[in-house]
Structure 1
């Protein structure tokens, strides 16, 4: 099949599955492409309407497709850490089907879909880059937002190459976990030779413990729309998608209304069309190639690379993917300049970072900090210490990011600095575990989560993680386990997993083993 025709059919499949296609319900776009591709004319092509049916393979993986979020309780790690505070709610979360791993309410854990309170929001930086409107309680109408700045208008008056240079000079790195330089991504997509390019917003904030993207989506939706439009202008994309997890129903509602306002006001339009897509509960969609498969109506499995998505991404076209926090820094950079942004932070970690503190802190909530702050200051100054017990460990950056022992709290928040202690900045979800939660039980909970959320693409992750989770459960309950088999499975995950999910689980266990050797001695030695 010719590449052009294939991509048209893929786009058509996507629009059908999202319920769209009102303008071209007769298939005229496909007919036109066939006529241009084959040695024939439009009149010689007959169209036949077939009954619509979605293949069941993708449906089975989206485990929240028929689930009302308001009826669910959260079984994520932040809720696990606070399970003693609301044991009945935790029991519901641990036994319900399907299991739901994060509602973005880690500041009020254990949480459920029926209850919510607004968290404390604070800043600890020389400049407030991201949380200005969140600190004010949110800006959800376009006229009010536009009175606060005009980054998009300024960007559209700039040459795309000038924007590309600005992004590189700002030294902004991706905030979703990989920390890849944003400017290099932009240059790669901009330099790709293709008529069609896409920009995709990864708002599938699935790491238990993180809720920063949720409040950017709910309280500052136009900042994200503006940032996406700026990025699209820079790389030459005319269509984009915002993929929001179903677990954030308020964010979906707010963003949907914001997009309507932006279209009516002509803020979007011919230069960029943005479509909102709601996820259905697959954690692995946080990985960008899985996310692209989901957008195409496929099972969200990881794609092997190369090719990179900057060359061949969504529907086979060059694609720029960023998470919400990364994009939301762009209007500030355009307004204040790359040098002003690069002046914030320290070492190779420039700018500011959002941190989500869980409910075990005396002052849980959402904070904007400059890179370089020590973890001790995060615990004592921002969080005001723990509500109860002693700190047993600090998880920063998601369930695969390792556990920082109390002896290493003098470590400064930075990508390379956290990597040096076998941990990670990740998405910035900070979960404190008190001494009522043992390290083996944390490891067992992480492996159980990892097994449940494996996409099944590669055998070591698909088959190995359930075995590891069962062994970790046994060890946490002081039952004997085959330590040699456990080690071999971890080594296989680390060496042969296709993506960061399996490798991350292995690295998590290896990190915990180094920092808490006596806790895991019976099942790792």
Structure 2
């Protein structure tokens, strides 16, 4: 796109937002228009929509083509083809379902502990045997809700999971549990006191990068501006991770209190909860919780601290979990990453200072300010304070969420879950999703700790663990990862957009000139070195290791075909 036109489009999007007092986004209006038409828009409708949002027709068309939810069949069965569900048999059940109803592939529904999983057209979750035994996917019937994961705590005390295990989603339940008490106490103190407490406690973001929460908040608070924003990142998309979904559904008021504390600390008066569309129950629960909090006078222009919170649903883009791509989505643009600096804390949403924290990070905050920095810092290690919610998929004997203190080893975590399901030996585990790390048994003694893992070249990511048992088809796993890259690359970086396609061709074409492993490895190197964001920078690493360790089984037709 022409740079001057790109800036003009962004300016139009920001003016549109300001005209509607922060309650509308061009992307939401496009989404609404498509929903009303039950599908695609014709040329005249595109022209009218372009006029309404004040953007060129080409921009509106580019938005529609980018987001999967805007060009996929509306009344479709969404089948999870994320790594964990693929390992559970999603590839085998999909052809049967496609004969019964229109189907669309998505990459994570947050039910990795009981896969395979799918969402029907009424947003009911179908999992495991229900999915294999379904006889009419086109006409969904009422079913019991999908089971919540087991939630255990191996830490000295539970922090992030203390309410999630008991499904405290109503306002009355939350009040009885003490939610909002930390916020009310903090209103009597200086906002900077919250930031100082977080800095002293040593909390780090749980979204993968591990950046200091206190430093991020301080940077935002000290940036000169007439307006600031807070965004709760609920676009958890790493296959194998589901803690954010559970918190949004079972502890929505805990999430809101974390947002309130952040807004008060940095001086923001508007907040957004960005939730992936594959989490419909989380969206419903958060909408209900926000409404109840407004009714109670805790939110709104007349509240003790005036804060407005709204929900922005994701549109089916994995890369929008990256903070700058998410900002673009909210502004009504394609979810492509931005060049940094400037960082969002200085120039984020609509060019204003913005804190973007993931859901787990925000839920921790109330406990930190209530118990004090020293109490929190006493948990975990000196380098990585506090606890972390680790998610274990269906491949373990005891799948679910385990809250641990930083410092526990991967081996101890696996042993606490009883090893692999069905007593099968584990060959490896995937930590942190496709952008994470492939860990063999000789690496399982590494501590769950940002510094220890960084020294070993290991990515913690969101803390999801996917079990790779003996008998895993590694060729299928490699194909799935490459298809994931093809589908989810935002397309801004050419090597990331085209490289995975060429790698998949090399994998599937026996006539590829030269050693196929070498061809794929070289392509991965180009993607890794030339990508702007973590998606292209980190995904090649576990794929490269898969090729090195299991290359014989990947390229030998005798294995797993």
What TM-score do you get using the length of structure 1 for normalisation? 0.87
Which one is further off, 259-268 or 464-473? 464-473
Identify if the C-alpha distance between structure 1 residues 425 and 90 changes in structure 2 by more than 3 Å, giving closer, same or farther: farther
Identify the residue that residue 454 of structure 1 maps to in structure 2: 489
Deviation at 1:6, TM superposition (A): 8.1
* SS of match in other structure, 1:99: strand
Identify the residue that residue 129 of structure 1 maps to in structure 2: 159
1:358-403 alpha-carbon deviations (Å, 9 max, x no partner): 1111111111111111111221212443325321210111111121
Is the 8 Å Cα contact of residues 396 and 425 (structure 1) preserved in structure 2? yes
Superposition map of 1:188-199 within 5 A: 188-199=219-230
CA RMSD for the aligned pairs? 2.9
Identify if the C-alpha distance between structure 1 residues 472 and 388 changes in structure 2 by more than 3 Å, giving closer, same or farther: farther
Matched, 1:141 2:170: yes
**Distance (Å, rounded) in 1 between the aligned partners of 2:225 and 2:270:** 13
* SS of match in other structure, 2:118: coil
Identify if the C-alpha distance between structure 1 residues 151 and 439 changes in structure 2 by more than 3 Å, giving closer, same or farther: same
Deviation at 1:416, TM superposition (A): 2.4
Identify the residue that residue 207 of structure 2 maps to in structure 1: 176
Matched, 1:205 2:241: no
Identify the residue that residue 161 of structure 1 maps to in structure 2: 192
Aligned counterpart in structure 2 of residue 60 of structure 1, from 20, 45, 65: 65
**Distance (Å, rounded) in 2 between the aligned partners of 1:392 and 1:338:** 40
* SS of match in other structure, 1:73: strand
**Runs of at least 5 residues in structure 2 that lack an aligned partner in the other structure:** 1-6, 31-49, 120-124, 127-145, 557-561
* SS of match in other structure, 1:452: helix
**Runs of at least 5 residues in structure 1 that lack an aligned partner in the other structure:** 21-48
Identify if the C-alpha distance between structure 1 residues 222 and 304 changes in structure 2 by more than 3 Å, giving closer, same or farther: same
Superposition map of 1:70-469 within 5 A: 71-83=77-89, 87-89=92-94, 92=97, 98-113=104-119, 114-115=125-126, 116-136=146-166, 138-149=167-178, 150-270=181-301, 271-469=306-504
What TM-score do you get using the length of structure 2 for normalisation? 0.81
Identify if the C-alpha distance between structure 1 residues 298 and 51 changes in structure 2 by more than 3 Å, giving closer, same or farther: closer
Deviation at 1:105, TM superposition (A): 0.6
1:70-93 alpha-carbon deviations (Å, 9 max, x no partner): 822211100122228x93258759
1:159-212 alpha-carbon deviations (Å, 9 max, x no partner): 111111111011111111111111110111011000101001110011111111
Is the 8 Å Cα contact of residues 293 and 299 (structure 1) preserved in structure 2? yes
* SS of match in other structure, 2:265: helix
Deviation at 1:441, TM superposition (A): 3.4
Is the 8 Å Cα contact of residues 453 and 460 (structure 2) preserved in structure 1? yes
**Distance (Å, rounded) in 2 between the aligned partners of 1:69 and 1:157:** 50
**Distance (Å, rounded) in 1 between the aligned partners of 2:520 and 2:386:** 40
**Distance (Å, rounded) in 2 between the aligned partners of 1:382 and 1:478:** 43
1:264-315 alpha-carbon deviations (Å, 9 max, x no partner): 1111112110111111110001100000000001100000111111111101
Is the 8 Å Cα contact of residues 81 and 432 (structure 1) preserved in structure 2? no
**Distance (Å, rounded) in 1 between the aligned partners of 2:376 and 2:75:** 38
Identify if the C-alpha distance between structure 1 residues 68 and 352 changes in structure 2 by more than 3 Å, giving closer, same or farther: farther
Aligned counterpart in structure 2 of residue 496 of structure 1, from 530, 547, 554: 530
1:297-339 alpha-carbon deviations (Å, 9 max, x no partner): 1100000111111111101101000000011100110111111
Is the 8 Å Cα contact of residues 361 and 386 (structure 1) preserved in structure 2? yes
**Distance (Å, rounded) in 2 between the aligned partners of 1:93 and 1:379:** 36
Is the 8 Å Cα contact of residues 78 and 358 (structure 1) preserved in structure 2? yes
Is the 8 Å Cα contact of residues 230 and 268 (structure 2) preserved in structure 1? yes
Identify if the C-alpha distance between structure 1 residues 252 and 398 changes in structure 2 by more than 3 Å, giving closer, same or farther: same
**Distance (Å, rounded) in 2 between the aligned partners of 1:4 and 1:248:** 31
**Distance (Å, rounded) in 2 between the aligned partners of 1:355 and 1:70:** 32
Give runs of ≥4 in structure 1 deviating > 4 Å.
Answer: 1-7, 49-54, 66-70, 89-97, 477-481, 513-522
Identify if the C-alpha distance between structure 1 residues 518 and 421 changes in structure 2 by more than 3 Å, giving closer, same or farther: farther
**Distance (Å, rounded) in 2 between the aligned partners of 1:217 and 1:93:** 31
* SS of match in other structure, 1:72: strand
Aligned pairs, how many?
A: 491
Is the 8 Å Cα contact of residues 364 and 383 (structure 1) preserved in structure 2? no
Is the 8 Å Cα contact of residues 79 and 94 (structure 2) preserved in structure 1? yes
Identify the residue that residue 36 of structure 1 maps to in structure 2: none
Identify if the C-alpha distance between structure 1 residues 334 and 445 changes in structure 2 by more than 3 Å, giving closer, same or farther: same
**Distance (Å, rounded) in 2 between the aligned partners of 1:19 and 1:152:** 34
Identify the residue that residue 18 of structure 2 maps to in structure 1: 11
Identify if the C-alpha distance between structure 1 residues 416 and 521 changes in structure 2 by more than 3 Å, giving closer, same or farther: farther
Identify if the C-alpha distance between structure 1 residues 90 and 380 changes in structure 2 by more than 3 Å, giving closer, same or farther: farther
Is the 8 Å Cα contact of residues 197 and 318 (structure 1) preserved in structure 2? yes
